[in-house]
Amino acid sequence: MVLSKKLKQRVGILAVVFTALMGFGSAALSDNHERAIGANAGDACVKDTSWMRRNHMELLKHDRDRTLRQGIRSVEGSIKGCVDCHANKDEQGHFISVNAEGEFCSGCHSYTAVSLDCFECHATKPDTQSTTARTAK
Amino acid sequence: MSQKQKMDLNSAEHNAQVVDTARRRFLGQAAGATAVIAPGITLMTIANAEASSEGASSAKRWGMLIDTNRCEEGCKDCVIACQQENGWGIGSTDESLSNSRQKAQWIRTVTVRDTDTGHTNQLPMMCQHCEHPPCVDVCPTGASMKRADGIVLVDKHICIGCRYCMMACPYKARSFIHESMHDQKSHAPRGKGTVESCTMCVHRVDRGDQPACVESCDKGAMMFGDLNDPNSEISKKLATVSSTQIRADLGTSPGVRYSGI
């Protein structure tokens, strides 16, 4: 009985410390986002920002299968959509890769030490006029 | 397409219909009161693809018909169009470290020669989008897959790069990427360690357009459409001209058919 009381106390302390850490983490994340939210980003993402911050990978994972395997293209979780909104432009007006240092995707991913494999294959910049012009015969 | 080519084609259609009266009756009934058949049928037609939210449906089977008689020797328009559309070859600055045998090749032109007569034909060769694709059979992870509408794709999310599919493909249609990529198109992701091949421009098909190669062929040698729809231009054409599947003996039932070889 006494032991379990002590245990409860310890769990309580741990919970307080953990919550504080999480709060610190969120504050740091939001700072990052304000710096590099993206050139075309509007007021809101496809879902609430705090939801997106934690669950964007789930949205992308399920919708990628729907798009690729079933051909359903009207999905919320499109990585093309991420890049279209969240890519920043440099002083010359050229898009910067979303996975470049300090940019929208890599900002959080390097902070949280989560590897970012999407851009091993996916385009890191929105399709621009110049790439479209190149496809013209 | 020149006027002469159109006329040739129309007369071919006309002859076929005179011979096949049962088919004409059927088509007449199918077309109903309007009964507009034949005049102006060309190889360059827009397929009735629907960019719907329902996705790929097994009601459709996308396929191609390639008229090798119209494919001009030395012409590489379809290959160039594919490279620029999907960002490989000259359409990309990547793969600078790979040699020519390693570089991606989604579509290539092949010259076939009849050894008895010496007659040669050029034809474009790419993923044949088989009904029974050997690449899908052998894939250990399920990355190699066929959509409900018959388009065979690689799910690079789960491709481990074992290249078993490349060994299994009788058409040598698949390539492996040997180096890091940076210059991809947003609609055609490509990455090191994965296998890739012709996607039948699935991103274009899903929005109701034709594949880039078909669109680029001004000789009218390539036709794209729904093989399941008896009223599609490609089905009508397939019913009137003799066409073959390459390596039909393997039973893969390719969605790409060739006439004139």
> Where residue B246 sits, what CATH number does that domain have?
3.30.70.20
HEC sequence for B14-28:
HHHHHHCHHHHHHHH
Is B83's Cβ below 8 Å from some Cβ in A?
Answer: no
pLDDT on residue B46: 45
Residue B27 lies in a domain: no
pLDDT on residue A49: 87
pLDDT on residue A25: 47
Task: Report the gap between the CA of A47 and the closest CA in chain B (Å).
Answer: 20
Question: Per-residue pLDDT averaged across A98-105, rounded?
Answer: 90
Cross-chain residue pair B189–A131, CB shorter than 8 Å: no
Residue B109 lies in a domain: yes
ipTM for the complex shown: 0.75
Where are the extended beta strands (E) located within chain B? 62-67, 107-113, 120-126, 144-146, 152-154, 175-176, 195-196, 222-226, 243-244, 256-259
- Residues in chain B, pLDDT under 70: 1-53
Which residues constitute the domain of residue B54?
A: 43-259
Q: Name the residue facing B153 among A68, A120, A131 (closest C-beta).
A: A68
pLDDT on residue A16: 55
Which residues of chain B are within 8 Å of residue A115 when distances are taken between CB atoms? none
Burial of B193 (0-12, 13-18, 19+ CB in 10 A): middle
Minimum CA–CA partner of B80 in chain A: A137
Which residues of chain B are within 8 Å of residue A87 when distances are taken between CB atoms? none
Task: For residue range B241-251, list pLDDT tens digits in order.
Answer: 999 999 999 99
Minimum CA–CA partner of B155 in chain A: A68
CA distance B250 to B170: 9
Task: Report the gap between the CA of A38 and the closest CA in chain B (Å).
Answer: 17
CA distance A77 to B103: 32
Task: For residue range A48-91, list pLDDT tens digits in order.
Answer: 888 998 999 999 999 999 999 999 998 888 999 999 999 998 89
Confidence of residue A46 (pLDDT cuts 50, 70, 90): confident
Helical pair A2-35 and A49-70, crossing angle rounded to 10 deg = 80
pTM for the model stands at 0.75
Q: Choose among B37, B32, B42, B53: nearest CA to B9.
A: B42
Number of domains in chain B: 1
**By three-state DSSP, how is residue B254 classified?**
coil
Residue B8 lies in a domain: no
CA distance A64 to B156: 11
